[in-house]
Amino acid sequence: MDKIRIGHIGTLHDHSAGVLPCVRKFPELFEVVGLVPESAERYEQIKDMDAYKGIPVMTEEELFAAGIDAALIEGHELDLVNAARRCVDRGIHVHIDKPAGADLQAFTDLLRVAEEKQVIVHMGYMYRYNPSIQEALRRKNAGLLGEIYEVDAIMNTEHPADKRQWLEQFPGGIMFFLGCHMIDLIYLFQGKPNRVIPFHKCTGFDGVTAIDHACAILEYDHGVSIARATSTEVNGYGRRQLVICGSKATYEIEPLETPTKTYYTDNEHSFAYGDRRTELNFTFKDRYDEMMLHFARCVRGEQENEFAYEYEREMHAILMQACGL
């Protein structure tokens, strides 16, 4: 395969206008064949955005007829799996933005068909590819963190009232919309929990009736981990963080990005009543770069996708429990 002929289906996802420009940065790997907006009205809303300029606009059937190897599935969160299924049924590799809808069975069926056809299903959890998180994973696998007994994962932000009310369509509200990233990271480091206990609240601020304040406790043999997602926190973006506590070391990422700041303390340099953290420095690219380069390598057969079909199914099942389903 010389270049991956790729289509872009849907534009309503918040990451649509970020993932597509990322792909266009790598013309040696991707040839963007066409854009399929949800409707003519939707295209009028986005046509002047730099992310979409210069890309032929077509229907989904026209895109399939043009011949594509892969598709970016970037529509509304509850429509992602259906759009991806139409691609997978045709043997087209898919990058699906997150989370994978509210119907676990539909996602399970998609993964089953994809595995039968040996089609890549690549989920848009970009933090998996953050270099600091990759380093934490390397240290975990090398035994440097010891037995991990706690992960504190926070994905807060400060949304306007209309965006918070928009969350009402999702099970678990903000836990579904943003907390999914934190469930993904806890699962990455600790695997399947023994039990998931969701706590969902509506602050009621500004008359909003959606769940805009949520957390989930994940119970493991040696401790509990917490995923938190809140849509009302002043400077919530700046407090997004991942703290991994092991028997040999603590690994902290605070904030998670823009900038990513990382601290590490092992049990040879800790002190009960002092802060002995060492800061680690990383070269950080665009938040989507390594994710889409990973997708390209998987599609081209240069790398096996370590986030296999069963991995994605299990992770999404845990998310659904955290959302109260």
| CATH fold for domain 4-126+289-305 | Rossmann fold (3.40.50)
DSSP 134-173: HHHHHHHHTTSS-SEEEEEEE---B--HHHHHHGGGSTTT
Q: Where are the beta strands (DSSP E) in 187-259?
A: 195-201, 213-220, 223-230, 241-246, 249-253
Q: Is the Cβ–Cβ distance between 189 and 144 less than 8 Å?
A: no
Q: What is the CATH number of domain 131-280?
A: 3.30.360.10
- Encode pLDDT of 167-213 as tens digits: 999 999 999 999 999 999 999 999 999 999 999 999 999 999 999 99
Q: Which helix (H) or strand (E) holds 104?
A: helix 104-117
**Which pLDDT score is estimated for 40?**
96
Sorted by where each begins, the domain ranges of the chain are 4-126+289-305, 131-280
Rounded CA-CA distance 121/176 in Å is 20
User: CA-to-CA distance for 173 and 211, rounded, in angstroms?
Assistant: 5
Residue 279 pLDDT greater than 70, yes or no: yes
Tens digit of pLDDT for each residue in 90-122? 999 999 999 999 999 999 999 999 999 999 999
Give the list of residues 6+ apart from residue 237 with CB closer than 8 angstroms, or none. 156, 157, 158, 255, 258
Cα distance between residue 25 and residue 49, in whole Å? 16
What pLDDT is stored for residue 264 in this prediction? 97
Domains 4-126+289-305 and 131-280 equal at CATH topology level: no
- pTM > 0.85: yes
Confidence of residue 1 (pLDDT cuts 50, 70, 90): low
CA–CA–CA angle 82, 88, 94 (5° rounding): 85
